Amino acid sequence: MTTTTTIAAPLAAFAEAAAATLPHLSKDDVTPILTTARVTRDPERGVIVAGTDRYTVGEYVIPSDDTARHFESAEAADPSTDDPAILIPRDALEWIAKLAYKSLRRGGGRAGGDMSPAYAHTVIIEHATKDDHDPGTLTVTVRHTGTGSDERSQAFDGFIGNFPPVQRLLPALDAEPFPLSPNVGIDPAHLKRVMDYATKHHKGAPIVFAGTGDEATNGSHKRTPILATIGNLRALIQPMNVTR
């Protein structure tokens, strides 16, 4: 018996989520699980895309209000299940991030263009498996929201495994920002992952940096990750000790 897990979101938002989290995925196939992003659906927060390579963590949230408004405008039901989780390999995320809007049909409303470009297309991700040990097949489909027709579809090798619980390291959304400890540095290569995304999608917007953990751990020799926030992206960066 085949089991299919499905998650859907506006294409424009998911393409940005892919671009934001891709830099945090590992390129080392020695640990294949780290070359994937974990996509989940939270009824309150929305669609969450997260990736890590051990040194940084990237989490991008497509707010539930955005997805609800998208499907409402299209008069279509959100095909996402109540609590799905899908591992998306790097090549699938790269395919989504590189989709050229000029090659897709414009507009999308029943009147032929009464829908904003951000809502003109839906990306639907389906992971079909035969059992718990079957990696299965992951299919990414780009659907024209107004007409319901599929414009692009690509199949990728599926993935199963235990994604590391790195998101628990992220502070609660309502947590007070913690000041950075003195004499803490950031590896330029790790910082570049956030900077490249910010430059392309949030040019001119400030990146907010804050410490994590509590005063006891932050003041000790054990450095806690640095939280960088810009737009819908929150990233954790492992800091470096700075000696003087």
Query: The domain spanning residue 55 has which CATH number?
Result: 3.10.150.10
Calculate mean pLDDT across residues 147-160. 91
pLDDT for residue 142 is more than 50: yes
Do 78 and 68 contact (CB within 8 A), yes or no?
yes
Q: What is the dihedral of CA 89, 93, 95, 101, to 10 degrees?
A: 160
Give the pLDDT confidence of 96-132 residue by residue, as tens digits. Answer: 998 765 556 654 444 344 455 656 889 999 999 998 8
Calculate mean pLDDT across residues 217-225. 60
- Supply the pLDDT for residue 109: 42
Q: 214 lies in which domain range?
A: 170-241
The model carries a pTM of 0.87
Nearest CA to 37 out of 24, 46, 28 is that of 24
Same domain, yes or no: 83 and 179: no
Same domain, yes or no: 219 and 135: no
pLDDT for residue 226 is more than 70: yes
Same domain, yes or no: 147 and 179: no
Give the pLDDT confidence of 38-92 residue by residue, as tens digits. Answer: 999 988 899 999 999 999 999 999 998 888 777 776 666 566 655 689 999 999 9
- Supply the pLDDT for residue 216: 46
Q: Does residue 165 belong to any structural domain of this protein?
A: no
- Supply the pLDDT for residue 111: 36
In the structure, how many helices (H) and strands (E) does the chain have? Answer: 5, 13
Mean pLDDT for all residues in the chain:
84
Q: Does residue 124 belong to any structural domain of this protein?
A: yes
Same domain, yes or no: 112 and 180: no
For residue 19, the tally of other CB atoms under 10 A from its CB is 20
| Token reading at 102 | 């000029």
Alpha helices in the chain (DSSP H): 11-21, 64-73, 90-97, 188-201, 215-218
The total number of structural domains in the chain stands at: 2
Do 209 and 234 contact (CB within 8 A), yes or no?
no
pLDDT above 70: percentage of residues in the chain: 83
Same domain, yes or no: 20 and 141: yes
